Amino acid sequence: MKRFTANSMTTPEYDRWWGQRINDNIPMSNQENTHSVEEHLQWQEQLHRSQDQVKDKDYVMGAVVTQVREVADHLQTLVVQVDVLSLKYESKSDRVRELTWLLRKDKALSIRARPYM
């Protein structure tokens, strides 16, 4: 490779290096690195199939997440209903206890009152 130099500031070593250098920026065709068009198309087809599978699984997972959220909402509603019923029966239970206590007290008083009659 000959080149015109207007400046004689270059050294002979540089000139030798310039003549022997390899341009690393340009990829060289290598038999090991070359793939046929068929292989490339097969790879591309496989990639598209894999993407479709991921999309299908993503759709299924989205549906599952939706169902889980619906179940969680339903469970939350049931929890609220249980709390309401619990408070309702607890208050009734307190009233039942009070009535039972009054009934026992009444029985005790009536038992005590009989001998005196």
pLDDT in tens, 9-66: 678 887 777 777 666 666 666 665 567 888 888 999 999 999 999 999 999 999 999 9
- Residue 111 lies inside a defined structural domain of this protein: yes
Q: How many helices (H) and strands (E) does the chain have?
A: 2, 0
Task: Give tens-digit pLDDT for 78-106.
Answer: 888 888 888 777 777 777 778 888 877 77
- Residue 19 lies inside a defined structural domain of this protein: no
- Residue 103 lies inside a defined structural domain of this protein: yes
Q: For residue 35, what are the contacts with CB-CB under 8 A and spacing of at least 6?
A: 43
Q: Is the pTM of this model over 0.85?
A: no
- Residue 12 lies inside a defined structural domain of this protein: no
Task: Quote the number of domains for the chain.
Answer: 1
Task: Annotate 102-116 with DSSP letters as a single string.
Answer: HHHHHHHHHHHHHHH
User: In this predicted structure, what is the pLDDT of residue 100?
Assistant: 80
- Residue 102 lies inside a defined structural domain of this protein: yes
* Boundaries of domain holding 91: 36-116
